Amino acid sequence: MVSATRKCGGVYLYANQRGCDGGRLYYDGGAMIVCNGEVLAQATQFSLKDVEVVTATVDIDDVRSYRACIPSFGSQSAHSAEKSTQSNIVCDNFTLYHDFDETLENNNLVPSVGRSMQVFLPVEECLLGPALWLWDYLRRSGASGFFLPLSGGADSSSVATIVATMCDLVTKAAQEDPYGTVANDCRRVCSREKDTRWVPITPQEMCNLIFHTTFMGTSNSSETTRSRAQRLSSALGSYHLSINIDVMCEAVLKVFHLATGKMPKFASKNGTLTEDLALQNIQARLRMVTSYLFGQLLPWVRGRSGFLLVLGSSNVDESLRGYMTKYDCSSADLNPIGAINKEDLRQMLVFASDKYGIPVLKEIAHAPPTAELRPTSGGSSEEHSQKDEDEMGMTYEELRTFGKLRKISRCGPLSM
């Protein structure tokens, strides 16, 4: 937009927009004041403030001079079709300047100096945009925090990192203005309303109060992913539990056996593909059932009131391919990564690893994606042999390409 203003000169005001379209959060470049192609002022692109005002001092003669030095554009403008549609608006008692008055302190105003426009990297926007959205949703919902099933994989770890980014932004804003709106909301969400001067000292302190993670393992889970989940939760500061849900899976299968007299088996144990998929899906679905149970009761366990919003961790590639279980991590109250593909999530984890100094994020980003729903012969201490890309029959990089063709190029199955 700025380059376009260089053609004709003038003062332009660009308002900041926030919104959500089809599950995707979008932000523009922040409110800006541009004069003759130069950015004079720019608001914070990702801000926790409900309203942010930026000002700049502009010399209108600079605009006239700029336009006069390119007369061809003036001639085009005078003969343009748009001229007939323009109308004048009369404003009484309004001027863009003031008469000299010795009593005024701003008689010696000088035009604002141009500055470079701040532009965030795409991986930064993947962190900051959803983080602000989560905070806005949390403070308006009346919930006491978030609950996330943390598997130690890239998807759930990305969601956890976004929540940690939210805590970092809120903590800094609360410390800058301990009696402002953000600080007051932070005290309310963290159940610290009685202490009107309290603000979190570190993002980890806030994270421990509002963010709850749980590794829900089975006999098919590896010790590697359990370790990653534990190390990540320790680095972020979340309230973390590590549980085993085998007893729940066995109970459901026992009910099925009592009703039908049959017991399904995995394919590796001479079962059919239908049996194998059913045994995988029951593990995934029971994790989400458990998540809502913990989301309701963990505040009570910690001596607090309220409830937790359950976070999902299904990326857009899985939705595009259909490689997911209905009513597992694809079903939740909120899904911050529902419009982000796997490759972008990996890059985001590497960026966050360097930015926040969390080495385990880089380890998670480079690990091969696995569901860990089938028995493995390698032992629980090794990487699981069940790989997502092998089961899908295509790589996540190929899925990323299909996603761009579908969404950006508007291609259907035939044109792809």
Share of the chain above pLDDT 70, in %: 83
Q: For 174-183, how does the pLDDT look when each residue is reduced to its tens digit (9 = 90+)?
A: 999 999 999 9
- Domain coverage including residue 328: 122-407
Strands 211-217 and 145-149: parallel
CATH number of the CATH domain containing 216: 3.40.50.620
**297 and 381 both lie in a single domain:** yes
**158 and 209 both lie in a single domain:** yes
Q: And the tokens for 252?
A: 């459901």
**29 and 144 both lie in a single domain:** no
**24 and 164 both lie in a single domain:** no
Sorted by sequence, the CB contacts under 8 Å of residue 181 that are 6+ apart come out as: 49, 50
Q: What is the pLDDT of residue 95?
A: 64
Does 283 map to a domain? yes
**334 and 240 both lie in a single domain:** yes
Does 412 map to a domain? no
**144 and 270 both lie in a single domain:** yes
Does 117 map to a domain? no
Does 108 map to a domain? no
Q: What is the pLDDT of residue 6?
A: 36
**48 and 154 both lie in a single domain:** no
**165 and 263 both lie in a single domain:** yes
The count of domains in the chain is: 2
Does 402 map to a domain? yes
Amino acid at 287: R
Does 111 map to a domain? no
**254 and 304 both lie in a single domain:** yes
Q: What is the pLDDT of residue 307?
A: 96
Sorted by sequence, the CB contacts under 8 Å of residue 311 that are 6+ apart come out as: 146, 147, 148, 159, 163, 332, 333, 334, 335, 336
Q: What string of DSSP letters covers 270-311? A: T--HHHHHHHHHHHHHHHHHHHHHHHHHHHHHTT--S-EEEB
Task: Say if CB 249 and CB 184 are below 8 A apart.
Answer: no
**6 and 148 both lie in a single domain:** no
Does 34 map to a domain? yes
**238 and 344 both lie in a single domain:** yes
**131 and 79 both lie in a single domain:** no
Task: Say if CB 347 and CB 123 are below 8 A apart.
Answer: yes
Residues of the chain with pLDDT under 50: 1-8, 17-28, 380-381
Q: For 349-361, how does the pLDDT look when each residue is reduced to its tens digit (9 = 90+)?
A: 999 999 999 999 9
Q: Which of 85, 106, 132 is the last residue of a domain?
A: 85
Q: What is the pLDDT of residue 118?
A: 83
Does 308 map to a domain? yes
